Amino acid sequence: MPKESSTQERRHDILDSVQRSGRVFVADLSQSFGVSEVTIRSDLQMLADQGLVVRTHGGAIPAGRLSPELSLALRRQQQPLAKDHIGAAGAELIEDGDAVYLDTSSTALAIARHLTHHRYVTVVTNSIAIVNELTDCPNVHVVVPGGRLRRETASLIGADGLDYIRQLNIQKGFFGAHGVTPAEGLTDVSVEEAEVKRVLVGLCRQVVAVLDATKWGRVGVASFATLEQIDVIITDQDAPAELVAQAQAAGVAVHLV
């Protein structure tokens, strides 16, 4: 393993190593590349933000190593209280008679769980997890635009359903994201899904981002909404005050829950 390579080369080599060996350790990579463990952790964080690896304690594994059910379960398990609070607050923004779009994030699923007392609401979603959740809610009308099954997120992906959605009048769209920063706005780890979300943001009358504190300051590989395009951000109390202030300065109504 060569030393004195560029940052980009090192990250490429690290990714290659993760994929070849199936598991890497921070300590080993630090020794191999002749850089500090903090630098390796920074590299792995970048690769994780692009959805290429999954960070583990002491190292990383290839994205896709874990089964779809477990990947989904791990995502749902993160910040459960924050997501529930954000979900409840998101549901409170939904009025009887509304047509809303819920994306495939686990925070949008938390919103769906709080719709049991709403009436005449239409939910448009490509999340199979949300469809399953709303099967027991006869008061909610569910529309699924369609696409190809992506097991890791129990959702349907692709742009084919956009024509369907364009025919609908969607009052509010609720979007999770991999990260949010003032410069990059809302970002995702999948370029393809970011492209679809970008169109959806344009189709919704009101855009609501639902993010827990861990998402602030983090950047995924593709942006899908600038701060100016966001009407509301619902987040929890741990959200960093400085970034919240910058979002508010850009005109976003930030709800801390």
Contact residues for a copy of itself, defined by CB under 8 A: 5-9, 11-12, 15-16, 23, 46-47, 49-52, 54, 56-59, 61, 65-70, 73-74, 76-77, 128, 131-132, 134-136, 138, 141-149, 151, 154, 156, 160-161, 163-164
Nearer to a copy of itself, 149 or 249 (CB): 149
Query: Which residue among 12, 25, 147, 250 contacts DNA (CB under 7 A)?
Result: 25
The footprint of DNA on residues 119-148 (CB under 7 A) is none
In the block, tokens 């910058």 appear at 246
Contact 212, 83 (CB under 8 A): yes
Sequence-ordered strand ranges (E) for 53-137: 53-56, 59-62, 99-102, 121-125
Q: Which three-class secondary structure state does DSSP give residue 89? A: helix
Query: By CB under 7 A, is residue 178 in contact with DNA?
Result: no
Q: How far apart are alpha carbons 228 and 235 in whole angstroms? A: 17
Subset of 187-246 contacting DNA (CB under 7 A): 217
2: tokens are 């060569």
Choose the stretch contacting DNA; rule: CB under 7 A; options: 2-10, 86-94, 123-131, 220-228: 2-10
Residue 239, binding choice from a copy of itself, DNA, none, Cβ under 5 to 8 Å by partner class: none
Residue 246 is encoded by which pair of tokens?
């910058």
* Minimum gap (Å) between residue 201 Cβ and DNA: 27
> What's the sign of the alpha-carbon dihedral 127, 217, 87, 171?
negative
Rounded CA gap, 254 and 256, in Å? 6
CB of 32 to a copy of itself, least distance (A): 17
36 part of the interface to DNA, by CB under 7 A: yes
